[in-house]
Amino acid sequence: MPIVILSGPPGSGKSSLANALMARFPFGLHIPLDDLRAWVVSGIAHPIPIWTDETTRQFTLARQTAAETARHYHAAGFAVAIDDILFPDDARRFFLEPLAGLPVHLIRLLPTVETCLARNAARTNKDFDTALLDDAVREVHVAMTREDAAFTRPPWHCLDTTGQSLDKTVSNLLALVQ
């Protein structure tokens, strides 16, 4: 069973894809990093408007928890998908190294920035005005595009899902991870 790490800007479709992908396995688990971070009920450090040392600490804890949870569920026969906004160095540090020897697949989703913005605006799963993420969508999209060379070599797989249905994207991703 695969462990799939999905990265991409906000609105790139990570959570929707993770849920749909895991539904294709007899036992599938989706670990949204945002949900792990929401476990913090007092003192949560959000990345917007300002990233702080405490934000870094809380993301580190959430990523370590996601990796360990993935390891436990994988050992029990589950396919696992983790969605997070990751760059290559953090993916290596928090997932590839701790999960060495397991079938980890790194996937960058990078539809057009316009697609990400439209998907972000259409979200219904957030308890805040998603327009607050518009600048982050643009900034992360630019940063991920700038790092294209790092994302386009193994172990990364890159998917431009612009104009693709969720079902088509799941089928394409299954072909990569099985």
Query: pLDDT of 4-25, one tens digit each?
Result: 999 999 889 999 999 999 999 9
Is residue 121 one of the residues assigned to a domain?
yes
Is residue 45 one of the residues assigned to a domain?
yes
Name the band, by pLDDT with cuts 50, 70 and 90, for residue 118.
confident
Tell me the CATH number at 59. 3.40.50.300
- Give the predicted TM-score (pTM) of the model: 0.91
Domains contained in the chain, number: 1
- Cβ neighbours of 152 (radius 10 Å): 11
Question: Mean pLDDT over residues 47-55, rounded?
Answer: 91
pLDDT at 102 over 70: yes
- Decide if 63 contacts 84 (C-beta within 8 A): yes
Structural domain including 112 reads: 3-173
Q: In angstroms, what CA-CA distances link 132 with 81, 111, 121, 159, 160?
A: 26, 20, 10, 25, 24
Is residue 16 one of the residues assigned to a domain?
yes
Is residue 178 one of the residues assigned to a domain?
no
Tell me the average pLDDT of the chain.
92
| pLDDT digits 0-9 by tens, 67-98 | 999 999 999 999 999 999 999 999 999 999 99
pLDDT at 121 over 90: no
Is residue 136 one of the residues assigned to a domain?
yes
pLDDT at 173 over 70: yes
* pLDDT score for 131: 61
- Which segments of 5-133 does DSSP mark as H helices, in order? 14-22, 33-37, 53-75, 88-91, 113-122
